[in-house]
Copies of this chain bind each other. A is one copy, B any other.
Amino acid sequence: MTVSAELRNDLEDAANRMRISAIEMTCASKSGHPTSSTSAGIFTTSLIRNVQAPIGHACPILYAAWEEAGLLSREQVMTLRKVNSDIEGHPTPRLNFIDVATGSLGQGLSCAAGMAYVGKYMDKASYRVYCLLGDGETAEGSVWEAAAFSSYYKLDNLVAIVDVNRLGQSQETALGHHVEVYQARFAAFGFNAIVVNGHDVSELISAYETARNTKDKPTAIICKTIKGQGIEGIADMENWHGKPVPHDKINPIKARLHGSQKGKLVAKKPVNDAPAVDLHIGSIQMAPPTYKMGEKVATRAAYGTALAKLGDANPRVIGLDGDTKNSTFSEKLLHKHPQQFIECFIAEQNLVGVAVGTQCRDRAIPFTSTFAAFFTRATDQIRMAAVSFANLKCVGSHVGVSIGEDGPSQMALEVPIKIQTCPSSELFPDQQERRSWLRTSGESFSFSSTRTTSLLFYRLFQVLKESGNDKIVLIGAGVTLYECLKAAEQLEKDGIHACVIDPFTIKPLDQETIVKHAKRVGGRILTVEDHYPAGGIGEAVSSAVADHTDIRVRSICVHEVARSGSPEELMDLYGISARHIVEAAKKF
């Protein structure tokens, strides 16, 4: 495609105006990323002419682009990084044109792949997704997880733009300006990989055109650029990452303006050919559970059943798994609604990243599942999902020493608190269909994490056992709740009555119920968990009652790196079985 001299001038002028603006706003905030913004200037310009694109890398240039397009004012962008401004240091969805928060590197391509997957297979719409990556960022393995996913699913509506400006934060990147190596890597991962001069508008526009005409493959445009392009004494020099540029350095860039009119470059209105989507699941659409009282059902089997029912109720409920669908039972959704399931293979960072991408702009309700232990691989993605206020459900199976023979690498004794820390998350210590159904049948879907375990349970309710003679409150979750019930029976035979509470969620914790019952029984709470002490149920309960002088809490849990064995042996070995609960209760 040839580009007219006029368009070329217009685009170059816009890029230079944006560079100037990015430098000025980072001068005002005394921090930020002006040099990366200058290397990324021209492809942001050439993009904005055509599309809406989610960008995190070098975000001052993103804000400058929206200023150029007339959607942000000069006054607004000059509030960069101020406490009362949504023009933040790294972009977040507090701005309505940002779909996902970025700033932790290497996560963008997974989110973009999730958006592209929905565009191609669910919306069947014409929109295209562009993702800008820094060169240093491609060292993150999550980029290659996303790349493999994108080519496997033939996402030809996805374009990765790599800004190869040679310089990282502290030194030259591992590959420097070897664009041919980036090209070989993306090609090997199934991309149509094109190398261009990232400061040449014609080459860029031509590459976008090639991408648009490429079928069944995503495209990677490898842009050779200069960090700090056009700024004398700074261009291509180390030690300028994340630092404001002296104000007088703008003059040479100003001198290169052709004089085209500011604001002339208007973003095309997007074509909206995506279908309207209703994410509401009314309780009327959901068949209630059909389990009989007293029936034993594996929580993971119940999860699969509930997920399949949710899939019946709304075609935008989707399941994503990391090659464990026959263990987590998410395959029940796959078998019933194949088009509502995305196999993500053994790449948990991308599993979560893709899910975050699918839920953008309320296009889908993603449920991700794998072994709980392996969700730790995606901790950073889950953390950033919370910053994005994402509607994400992570369902981890196989929790605790009670999984038995597979050994400590699979036990997830460290898991719950990782997700618990995210401020808008909820944490379910274990999960059954009834609960899953309760929590997802309303109109509002919040960011939540649900754990399933692989043992069988009775169907249990919040306060499971109480009497007027109770002397202690026992609190467990999942398998340990079952042990608490066994212990309570034993204690009753010995004349000690115990109240057993299922916390249902660890976060938020039902503080009121716990305090009420604790006061009633004389202030004794014993928590029991198949988890390490730090950040578990014991600490949560202790913290919830910390302001009450008449309540004491003791906790039993796993204290050392666990090992392989049968579930029963391990629960006894690590001191969390009924026998140990009885002993601790009597001592208390």
Q: State the A residues within 8 Å of B (CB).
A: 29-32, 81-86, 88-90, 92, 94, 101-106, 136-137, 139-145, 148, 152, 168-171, 173-174, 181, 184-185, 187-190, 239, 321, 323-327, 331, 343, 345-350, 373-374, 376-377, 379-380, 383-384, 386-387, 389, 405-410, 413-414, 417-418, 420-424, 507, 523, 532-535, 538-540, 542-543, 545-555, 558-561, 563-566, 569-570, 573
Contact between A148 and B143, CB atoms less than 8 A apart: no
CA of A179 to CA of B120, assembled, Å: 28
Name the B residues within 8 Å of A532 (CB-CB): 421-423
Knowing A89-B564, A542-B539, A549-B552, the reply to whether A103 touches B409 (Cβ < 8 A) is yes
Q: CB-CB < 8 A to A554: which residues of B? A: 546-547
- Across the interface, name the chain B residue whose C-beta is closest to A136: B346
In contact, B139 and A345 (Cβ under 8 angstroms) = yes
Instruction: Decide if A405 touches B139 in the complex (CB within 8 Å).
Output: no
Instruction: Specify which of A30, A85, A137, A168 lies most central, judged by the most chain B CB atoms within 10 Å of its CB.
Output: A168
* Alpha-carbon distance between A558 and B423 when the two chains are bound, in angstroms: 9
Chain B residues within an 8 Å CB radius of A327: 169-170
Task: Give bound CA distance, A171 to B547, whole Å.
Answer: 52
Contact A566 B83 (CB under 8 A): yes
Tell me the complex Cα distance, A387–B377, Å.
15
Nearest 10 pairs of A and B residues by beta carbon: A141-B141, A83-B565, A103-B409, A535-B535, A414-B421, A546-B553, A542-B546, A89-B407, A88-B564, A379-B379
Cβ-defined contact, B188 with A174, below 8 A = no
Taking the closest CB of chain B, its distance from the CB of A422, in whole angstroms, is 6
Q: How far is the CA of A33 from the CA of B292 in the complex (A)?
A: 36
- CB contacts (< 8 Å) of A406 on chain B: these are 31, 89-90, 103
Closest B residue, CB atoms, query A559:
B423
9 additional A-B pairs beyond A383-B414, A387-B408, beta carbons within 8 Å, are: A81-B407, A84-B565, A90-B409, A92-B407, A139-B148, A168-B345, A171-B323, A413-B423, A548-B552
Within 8 Å by CB of A94, from B102, B106, B563, lies B563
A380 engages B377 (CB within 8 Å): yes
- Say whether B566 contacts A171, CB under 8 Å: no
Contact A383 B387 (CB under 8 A): no
B346 and A408 contacting across the interface, CB-CB below 8 Å: no
| Interface of A, helix, strand, loop or mixed by DSSP | loop
Chain B residues, Cβ within 8 Å of A143: 141
Complex CA distance for A563 and B414, rounded to whole angstroms: 28
**Number of copies of this chain in the oligomer?**
2
- A170–B564 touching, CB < 8 Å: no
**In the assembled complex, which residues on chain B have CB atoms less than 8 Å from the CB atom of A547?**
552-554
Docked CA distance A377–B353 (Å): 13
The CA-CA distance from A542 to B509 in the complex, in Å, is 15
Q: Are A323 and B170 in contact (CB under 8 A)?
A: yes
| Chain B residues within 8 Å of A137, by CB | 346
Complex: A141 Cα to B345 Cα, angstroms: 12
A374 surroundings in chain B (CB, below 8 A): 104-105, 380
Q: Given A143-B141, A377-B380, A564-B88, answer yes or no on A523-B549 (Cβ-Cβ < 8 Å).
A: yes
- In the complex the two chains form, is A184's CB within 8 Å of B188's CB? yes
> A346 to B106, Cβ gap below 8 A?
yes
Write out the residue numbers on chain B whose beta carbons fall within 8 Å of the beta carbon of A417.
Answer: 417-418, 421, 534-535
- CB contact under 8 A between A168 and B346, given known A383-B376, A538-B543, A543-B539: yes
Are A420 and B535 neighbours in the complex by a CB distance under 8 Å?
A: yes
Query: Does A376 lie within 8 Å of B380, measured CB to CB?
Result: yes
Are the C-beta atoms of A535 and B546 separated by less than 8 Å?
no
Whose C-beta in chain B lies nearest to the C-beta of A56? B409
A-B contacts, 7 listed (Cβ < 8 Å): A103-B406, A106-B346, A139-B145, A170-B321, A181-B188, A373-B383, A387-B408
Do the beta carbons of B534 and A405 come within 8 Å of each other? no
Q: How far is the CB of A479 from chain B (nearest CB, A)?
A: 16
In the complex, what's the smallest C-beta–C-beta distance from A23 to chain B, in angstroms?
16
**Nearest chain B CB to A282's CB is how many angstroms away?**
30
CB neighbours (8 Å) of A85 from chain B are 564
| CB-CB under 8 A for A168 and B410, given A143-B141, A346-B106 | no
Residues of B within 8 A of A545 (CB): 546
